Structure 1
Amino acid sequence: MTLPGRPRVWFGRLPLRLRGWFGRLPVVTRLVLAVAVTMSLVLTAAAGLVYWRVQTALDRQLHDDLAAYRHSLDRAVRAGTAPPPGPSGSLYQVLDTHGRVLAASGAVGRRPLLTPAELGAAAQGHAVRRDVGSLLPITPDTLRLAAERVRAGGAMRVVVAAVRRGHRDEALRELLAQLALASGLTLIAASYVGYRTARAALRPVERYRTAAAALADGGPNLRLDVPADRDDEITRLGHTLNRMLDRLEASAVRERRFVADASHELRTPLSLLRAEVDLALHRPRSTEELDQTLRSVDAEVQRLIDLSNALLDLEELGSTSHITRAPVRPADLVETAVARHLRTAGRAGRQLTADAPDTPVDVDARWLVPALGNLVDNALRHGGGAVTVTATVHEDRLRLSVTDEGPGFPPGFLPRAFDRFARAEDSRTSAGSGLGLAFVQAVAMAHGGTARAENSGGGATVTLDVPC
C-alpha cells in the first residue's frame, strides 16, 4: 500500500540532491552552468516573443486575404455568377446543405474540405474556420479555410473559401530554424564568455591558494602579488591575506626571537647554578660555605625569575593587538610607580621627586606603571644624583620623563638603547638583564606612542610620549 505522503517526500528530496550535486561542482563549472541556464531562459523567452510577433503578423495577413476572398465568393454565389479569381493558391467549394459539391476549384475537386460536423454547423448558420495540415511535422496541402451559409436563388448554400498556408508555414519554419541557430550560437558564446570571465576572475584566487600552499609548506617571506591600481573584491581579499601573512610572519619572528633570547640569556644563570651546585657537591662543605652557596643559588634563581618575567611581559606586549585604556590621574600613576623605589633611594642617600598633574588621561596603567618603574630603577641603579619624574599632558598626549644627574648614556649606546639585552659597557657587571628599556619601548608602541633616550647636560633623560 502506498501512503499518500510518500510521493511528496520523494520529490521533496530531489531538489536537495540536485543542490548537493551542484554544490560539489567546481566554482567555474557552477558559474558556467548558471550562465547557460539563465541565457537559455532569456533566449527562449526572446525567441518566443519574436516568433509570436511574426506569426501574428503572418496570420493577420492570411486572415485578411481569406476574408476578402470569402466575401467575393459570397457575392458571386448570391448573384449566380462565376467565382472571381482569388489570391495565389486560393481554393473554393460550393456545397448544398447535404454536402453535395455543386462547384469547386479544379485543384480540390470533390474532395470534401469540411467534416460532417463542420458542414452541419455551417448549414445552421455558424461560421466555421479551421486550419488543415500542421506546421511541424511538414504536411502537404496546408490550408486555412472559412465556411458560411449563403442564400442563392431561394436555396441555402455553404460556401467554403480556402487559401494555402505554404508560404506562411515556410516562413515560420525558416524563422524557427534561424532562431534556434542564433540562440544556440548565442548560448555557446555566452557560456564561453562566462567561462573565460569566471576563469579570469578566479585566477587571482587560485594564485592566492598556490601562494598559501607554498606558505603552508614553509616558504619564507611570502606575499601575494596584489595589483595596486584596483579596488575590487579579489584585490581586497589579497590585501587582507597579505595583512594576515604579515601578522603570521611577525608572530613567527616574535616566537623565534623569544626562543633565541630566552636560550641566550638563560644559559648564563643556569650555568652558574650548575657550577655552584657542582662545587658544593665536590667535597664536604661547612655550614657557612653551604649558606653562601645557597645565597648565591637564590640570587641566580631570582635573576632567572626576573628574566623570565621580563621576557614574558615583552612577548605579551608584542602579541597583544590592543591595550585596555581607562581613565587615570597621572599623579596617581606616577605615585604608584615611584612608591616602590622610595626606600631604595633613601638607602642610597638620593633624592627622588615627582611632578604630575591631576588631569585624567585614558591609558593602560597596568603597563605604564611598571614601565615608569623600570626607568626609575635604571636611574637609581646606573645614574647619579637626584632623580626627577615628570608627567605632562598636552594636546591629548601624555609625556612621562625620568631624569637623573649622573654621567648619562655613553654616546655609542644611545642608538641601541632600546634593543633587547643592550647594556652599556660600564653597567655589564651590575645587576639587570638589559630588557628594561626594551620593555619601556614596547609599552610605548602598544599605546601608539614613542620612547626616546637622550643625554640632557648633567644626566640622562628617558621619555615616554603616548596618546591619551
Structure 2
Amino acid sequence: MRTQPDEISRLSATINRLLDRVAESFLMQRLFVANVSHELKNPLTQISSQLEVSLLNQREPEVYRQTIRSVLDDVRQVSALTHELLQLSQVSQDDAAGLLTDRIRADELAWDIRDEVMRINPRYGVTVELGTLPEDPDGLTLPGNRPLLYTALKNLTENACKFSDDGHALLRIGFAPASVQIDIQNNGRPIPDADLPYIFEPFYRSHQAADRVRGYGVGLALVDQIVRLHRGSIEVESETSTLTRFRVRLPG
C-alpha cells in the first residue's frame, strides 16, 4: 500500500519542479522584454525629439547636418543593440550538436583576436602569452564553433582594454591534456564585490561600467551563453588592488 502514495508523491514533486521552471521562464521572459523595451526607448525617444524640433522652424543647413549626425549616432546605437540581442537569442544549448563542428586552433584564435581588438582602437594593446605547447599539434585545437568562440573571447579582450588604466590586456592560453584554459586580464579599477554575482545577467551594468563606457549589458551575457554552449565554464576574479581576470575553461 506504500508504493502508490510514494509514486504519487514523486509525481507531485516532479510536477511542482516543472511548474517552478515554467514560472521562472515566464518571469525571465518578462524581465527580458522589459529590459529590451527600456534600452530601445531612450535612443528612439531621442531620435523622435530631435526630428520634431528640427521641423518646428526653418534652420541653417549646418544645424540640419548636426541633427542628422546626432540622429545617425542614435540609429547606430539601436542597430548595435539589435545585433547583440540577435546574437544572444541565437545561442541555444539545444543547437549545440549542429553548431560545434569546427576544430579551432586556440593559438591562432588568440592572435586573430589580438589583431582585431588593436584594429578597433589604436589605443588598445593586447599581449598574447602561450603556455607550454603540447607535442601533438591536435592538443592545440578544441571543438566548437569558431565565429561564436571568437565573438566571446573578443568581447572579453575588448572589455579588458576598455576598463584598463592603460588600455592594455593580457590574453594567456594554457594547454592541458583534455582542456584549454584562457585567461584574459587587465589592470584597472576592480569590479565591486556587490556586482560580481550579476555581471553575466542580461542588461546588468554596474555603476562603474555605466559611468565609464557606453554599452547595454548584453556582452557578458552573450559570452556566458557561448561558453556554456561549448560545455565550458567561466569565472571572474577581481582583486581589491588592480587585477581583474576572466578565466575560461573549455574541453579539448
Give 2:228's aligned residue: 445
Partner of 1:328: 104
Aligned to 2:246: 462
Aligned pairs (5 A) from 1:7-46: none
- Whichever residue aligns with residue 185 of structure 2, its letter is T
Map Cα deviations across residues 232-270 of structure 1 (whole Å, 9 max, x no partner): xxx7xx97x899878866764554343222212111111
Residue in structure 2 matched with residue 339 of structure 1 by the alignment: 115
What percent of counterpart residues are identical? 24
1:417 and 1:453 in contact (8 A); partners too: no
Distance 2:103 2:16 in 1: 35
Cα deviation, residue 318, structure 1 = 4.1
Q: How many Å apart are 1:335 and its aligned residue?
A: 2.4
Q: Which has the higher contact order (CA 8 A, sep 6+)?
A: 2
Distance 1:242 1:328, change over 3 A: farther
Gaps of 5+ in 1: 1-202, 204-224, 229-234
SS at match of 1:462: strand
Write out per-residue CA displacement over residues 93-138 of structure 1, whole angstroms, 9 at most, x where no aligned residue. Answer: xxxxxxxxxxxxxxxxxxxxxxxxxxxxxxxxxxxxxxxxxxxxxx
What SS is found at the alignment partner of 2:89?
A: helix
Separation of aligned partners in 1, 2:206 and 2:16: 39
Aligned CA distance change for structure 1 residues 258 and 340 (closer, same or farther; 3 Å):
same
Q: Which residue of 2 aligns with 1:432?
A: 215
Residues 19-64 of structure 1: CA deviation (Å, up to 9, x unaligned): xxxxxxxxxxxxxxxxxxxxxxxxxxxxxxxxxxxxxxxxxxxxxx
Aligned to 1:419: 201
SS of the counterpart of 2:242?
A: coil
Q: Say which of 80, 86, 92 aligns to 1:312.
A: 86
Partner in structure 2 of residue 361 of structure 1: 142
- 1:275 and 2:38 correspond: no
Distance in 2 (CA, whole Å) between partners of 1:291 and 1:399 is 49
TM-score by length of 1: 0.45
Equivalent of 2:64, from 284, 290, 293? 290
Provide the secondary structure at the position in 1 that maps to 2:96: coil
Q: State the shift of 1:291 in Å.
A: 1.5
Unaligned residue ranges in structure 2 (runs of 5+): none
From 377, 391, 397, the equivalent of 2:173 is 391
Q: Residue 403 in 1 paired to residue 177 in 2?
A: no
Query: What is the aligned partner in structure 2 of residue 262 from structure 1?
Result: 36
Which structure would you say has the larger Rg? 1
TM-align CA RMSD: 2.9
TM-score (norm 2): 0.80
CA distance in 2 between partners of 1:302 and 1:389 (Å): 29
Q: 1:226 and 1:281, CA in 2 relative to 1: closer, same or farther beyond 3 A?
A: farther
What is the total number of aligned residue pairs between the two structures? 235
Q: What SS class does the counterpart of residue 334 from structure 1 fall into?
A: helix
Provide, for residues 278-327 of structure 1, a one-character-per-residue CA deviation record: whole Å limited to 9, x for no partner. Answer: 22222222222212211111111111111112122222224644252221
Secondary structure of 1:339's counterpart equals: helix
Residue matched to 1:352: 126
Answer yes or no: is the 8 Å Cα contact 1:258–1:311 preserved in 2: no
